[in-house]
Amino acid sequence: MAGSGAAAAFGSCEPSPAGGQVCTAISIGVASQITKADGTKTSETTLSIDIGRFSLDSTGAFTFISETAGFGVASLSVSPRLSSASALASFQVITCTVDACADGGTVTVRASWTGQGDLIHDVSNVHFSKDPFSGNFHANGDVRSADATATVNGTDFGASLFASMFNVKTAAIFICHMC
């Protein structure tokens, strides 16, 4: 894979939420990528979203309420040197509760990132082996922390808890011996 992209996480809970509070955790990832698998190269920009809702009781115990997730083709603009980025996508999502999953309708996601701090160049190599699996992973590229804003169907998520932009080249090989 090679390409540019951005990611962000948002949340609605206070740092020390009160018992019974319903919280929302949102993650967004968007990347324009070239992927080569089984000898075929494809190029596409996609945006994915995951929106989890849960409650916390007075002891801090977590209770799942629902999860809405999906991905689709997106438009993405990333500035050189990762100083800013913006993305827009509309696609179908699925919503799951404790009892069932159902069509969650169509969402329109708009997001923007503003770079913060230094542009960091990173090279990573990882090898693992645990019978019957083995794998190699390599990444080389630039990453910058960011502040992000996002809306889904016009609803603002507020300030991001985490955000970054990147321009990387990665390769991953996973092998299953005697599988």
Say yes or no to pLDDT of 38 above 90: no
**Helix, strand or coil, per DSSP, at residue 82:** helix
Of the pLDDT bands very low, low, confident and very high (cuts 50, 70, 90), residue 17 is: low
Tell me which residue range forms the domain holding 99: 2-176
Q: Where are the beta strands (DSSP E) in 38-83?
A: 40-56, 62-78
Instruction: Give the alpha-carbon dihedral of 110, 114, 116, 118, to 10 degrees.
Output: 110
Measured over the CA atoms of residue 141, residue 142, residue 147 and residue 151, the dihedral's sign is negative
Q: What pTM was computed for the model?
A: 0.83
The domain total for the chain is 1
Alpha carbons 113 and 82: distance in angstroms, whole number: 9
Task: Give the residues across from 164 on adjacent strands.
Answer: 7, 145
Percentage of the chain surpassing pLDDT 70?
A: 94
Of the pLDDT bands very low, low, confident and very high (cuts 50, 70, 90), residue 18 is: low
More confident residue, 46 or 171: 46
Task: Give the residues across from 95 on adjacent strands.
Answer: 68, 102
Q: What pLDDT was estimated at residue 34?
A: 67
141-169 pLDDT, tens per residue? 999 999 999 999 999 999 999 999 999 98
Measuring CA to CA, how many Å separate 51 from each of 14, 25, 26, 129, 173?
A: 17, 6, 5, 34, 30
Mean pLDDT across 114-124:
95
What average pLDDT does the chain have?
A: 90
